[in-house]
Amino acid sequence: MRDFVWADELTDERTEDVRALLLAARETDGRPDVEPGGPLPGEFSGPRHLLCSVGEGPATVLVAYAHLDPRGDAFGRQVAELVVHPAHRRRGHGTATLDEVLRAATGPLRVWSHGDHPAAARLAERFGLSRARELLVMGVSSAEQEWPEPALPDGVRLRTFEPGRDEQAVIDVNARAFDWHPEQSAFDVKALREAQRENWFDAEGFFLAENTDGRVVGFHWTKVHPPNPNRFGGQPVGEVYVVGVDPDAQGGGLGKALTLAGLRHLRRRGLEQVILYVEGDNAPAVAVYRKLGFEVVETDVQYARGA
């Protein structure tokens, strides 16, 4: 018999149980990006947590876990993540857990399926959820590319991010460039400062474009992922994390120049593979990345209830 428990915060013991489940999923699926120590990945932070267990007493086993973010995305849609332990799949636990999430969520809801898993597609159909969003993961082998020196628009220069000085300028560009984006548009100075405390943060890989007035008009924030034994050949991977250009500065090749600056930086760091995430319906951006050598390697999907 399944036992469901909702919690706004996880105890240390439950955190370890969830981490063990996520690590088992990573071993099978390559996702999520979770490490044996440290906090849970950001997509599982904050309330609310749903734990699905079977057994009694010392024999109790966590077989599924879901996270429901009641704050939602930038457009007020609640967002859910759901993971079933690989050793306990095909036993109805995913169906039962999603049913519990759907009953607990209010209003519009988005549910992630990372890797476009067929089982998730079947669950979505069963519960009448629509395929609302595709997030493409594109990858490239840096050693096989001849990325040229960035050609900056007249009057624009590149420099790297300076912590304590540039946060607001970056967020101002980000807000203008991504006012349409369900996650990135909500990024703020507090979140940027929190990111600077992460082990992966590297200001030398965070490029800013300034105009003649000294105003930041674009940025390219790169990221380096540690080796994941079950993804991308088990090698460290560079990421085109965020490229943002102020709408007033678009159309002059600044976005491509910023992208090239980051790609060349990642190659200099010895990263043989580089990835990026791009919306599946953003045809112009996909076309630009294909010209730089990127190809789709994975697809993440959001299934929707409501708008």
256 assigned binding-site residue: yes
145 assigned binding-site residue: no
255 assigned binding-site residue: yes
239 assigned binding-site residue: yes
252 assigned binding-site residue: yes
225 assigned binding-site residue: no
CB half-sphere exposure, 9, CA atoms < 13 A: 2
223 assigned binding-site residue: yes
Distance CA 157, CA 216 (A): 10
84 assigned binding-site residue: yes
149 assigned binding-site residue: no
90 assigned binding-site residue: yes
293 assigned binding-site residue: no
107 assigned binding-site residue: no
156 assigned binding-site residue: no
94 assigned binding-site residue: yes
Q: Which residues contact 299 (CB under 8 A, 6 or more apart)?
A: 115, 116, 134, 135, 136, 137, 280
Dihedral Cα 261, 264, 270, 274, nearest 10 deg: 80
Distance CA 15, CA 34 (A): 12
Q: E strands along the chain, which residues?
A: 2-7, 49-54, 61-69, 78-84, 109-113, 130-141, 157-160, 206-210, 216-225, 237-245, 273-279, 295-305
296 assigned binding-site residue: no
111 assigned binding-site residue: no
92 assigned binding-site residue: yes
Which residue positions form the known binding site for acetyl-CoA? 82-84, 90-95, 243-245, 250-256
Q: Binding site, residues?
A: 82-84, 90-95, 183, 223, 239, 243-245, 250-256, 277
